Structure 1
Amino acid sequence: MRFVLASQSPARLSVLRAAGVEPVVRVSGVDEDALTASLADPKPEELVTALATAKAEAIAAAPDDGTYADAVIVGCDSMLLTADGEVHGKPGTVEVARERWKRMAGTTGTLLTGHAVLRMRDGQVVDRAAGHEPTLVRFGRPTDDELEAYLATGESLQVAGAFTLDGLGGWFVDGIDGDPSSVIGISLPLTRKLLRQVGVTVSDIW
């Protein structure tokens, strides 16, 4: 059975490899902004789950080279719900990342990770499951010099919430309450639960 990861995230790939899975990587190309705009005032957990589902479905609909004869496709999305009730994805620019860090330093946010699993047989979706996982993140207070040095690395620009747990951003996270793998990008406990809902066990993909 093939495990198809609908994401180009190196962090997600690293988590899966460390957990005994060598996935086939596919990039969905989903327009996240357009999909978000099409939803009628979704709750944050609904939004990350919808984005994850769209990514998995896009990969399932792409031309198949035989990979999907016996496979699961897993889509992922992450967003940070800050203490002030705002939802944030990837900042994209240094200016946006700097502003976010100024607001969230010393506070606690909720990292929401949405996952969708599609069970594929002979190129067709035969079962599906989706869900989300919240993890509390306690942010430290980087000094101005530390923050500028971090922003200059570019790491914060393409990750949800403008921080990482497993990279340079980990210096500025005081702690988490929940699943570490979810904060990194793919929740192993949630993925395992969703796999079981479509009739797949972890040992099937090792």
Structure 2
Amino acid sequence: MEIAKNAALVVVDVQKGFDEAGFWGPRNNPGADGNIAALINTWQAAGRPVVFVRHDSPKPQSPLRPGQEGNGFKDYVEQRRGKGTGRELLVTKTVNSAFYGTPGLDAWLRAEGISQVVVAGIQTNMCVETTARMGGNLGYDVVVAYDATYTFDLAGPFGWRLGAEEVARASAVSLHGGGFARVVLTEEIVGAAG
């Protein structure tokens, strides 16, 4: 695997509100936060650009809505913001894709001459997957750090219900198998980027 010298790390929605288990339900991958932190550290040490994405939910019951503590980044992310020598961007959004946020992610990446993005964060099958799919559609070389993401159990149609690990795997298969992104592990990315 090759990681471009100017590849952007897109850290999606790593916010305190996702720690509210009573709202979201059971999650998978308890090691995700450590892997997200490792990716941020690697990017900042190399002077590569980092994009921090925050979901400002318009839903009144959401722990991610503005003005609530849950809207803020988790402490380990907030402590790392502004610490690197590379470019940094904060994108806020109200929908799943980081490409539909403010300021415009696509315009910023193109202005910076960036063609490769590495995506990590929360939730695997929601905002991470939607951002990765759209990035692929826009022509970016998208890499998803699978074990630097997590999600929650999910109910669907016909009374179907999937556990968080099943949901995450289905998302990874869809992204990778569908050609939207390469889905790999954090260790492989860190090894290529270091």
Q: Output the TM-score relative to the length of structure 2.
A: 0.33
Max Rg structure: 1
Structure whose residues are more often strand by fraction: 1
Instruction: Compare relative contact order (CA 8 Å, sep 6+) and give the higher one, 1 or 2.
Output: 2
Q: Output the TM-score relative to the length of structure 1.
A: 0.32
